[in-house]
Chain A
Amino acid sequence: KAGVTQTPRYLIKTRGQQVTLSCSPISGHRSVSWYQQTPGQGLQFLFEYFSETQRNKGNFPGRFSGRQFSNSRSEMNVSTLELGDSALYLCASSLGQGTSGNTIYFGEGSWLTVV
């Protein structure tokens, strides 16, 4: 069974540009979450989608957005990139149904460098 797959693994963007990151969850998982990881702030929750609907959103500016498709694949977009957006962006998937307690699995992440 394939794990959570994220693309691209590495990318470099210029300030002011926008970026789109992609995530394919584990087969059968309908919940997809996104996290930002930086040395200074650690792992921070961005948003979570279930059945194409955003269920939860973290405390990030509107430049950060996401969506989920009918096949549960998800994308996140960051517009007007800033240097501080340089981070490891992690996608996680889970069955997403019922009470919390479904195991949440992470992908290897997308390393974004903004120059």
Chain B
Amino acid sequence: GESVGLHLPTLSVQEGDNSIINCAYSNSASDYFIWYKQESGKGPQFIIDIRSNMDKRQGQRVTVLLNKTVKHLSLQIAATQPGDSAVYFCAEPGAGSYQLTFGKGTKLSVIP
């Protein structure tokens, strides 16, 4: 089946800096990707999604970039805040299904 993987397990950034979290996927037919944020003891929280007909999508302080050529997507967080400290997952539903395949996650730590 499809696989979604993350390049780095941990990321530490200074408060106020920008954060970039990367994700690779293997299925070139994938057409929809979701980023989730999971704080300690809580369920995954939807951040932003992107469809394969887009290269970039922006939300509040977050931007997702999709590079279909190299099957890579990234989540950029602007002006990172302590409240952004969490584990971030990219996820991908199977074709025509609602079954999500998750990467292992990247733990973002914000240094005050």
Contact = CB atoms under 8 A, between A and B. Distances in A.
Given A106-B36, A106-B43, A42 B99 contact: no
Given A42-B104, A42-B105, A43-B89, A102 B44 contact: no
Interface residues of B, number: 26
Interface string A35-74: 1000000110100101000011010000000000000000
Nearest to B105: A42
B96 A100 contact: yes
A104 B100 CA distance: 9
B42 interface: yes
A100 B45 contact: no
Given A31-B98, A105-B46, A106-B36, A100 B89 contact: no
Contacts of A43: 44, 89, 91, 100, 102
Contact of B98 (A90, A94, A106): A94
A100 B43 CA distance: 21
Nearest to A92: B100
A99 B95 CA distance: 8
Given A42-B105, A45-B99, A103 B44 contact: no
B29 to A, nearest CB: 11
A24 interface: no
B43 A104 contact: no
B43 A109 contact: yes
Given A42-B104, A43-B89, A99 B96 contact: yes
Given A42-B104, A101-B31, A107 B43 contact: yes
A105 B36 CA distance: 9
B98 A103 contact: no
B51 interface: yes
Interface in A77-115: 90, 92, 94, 96, 99-109
B46 A101 contact: no
17 contacts: A4-B43, A33-B100, A43-B102, A50-B98, A55-B97, A55-B98, A56-B97, A92-B100, A100-B31, A100-B32, A100-B98, A101-B31, A101-B51, A101-B93, A103-B34, A104-B98, A106-B46
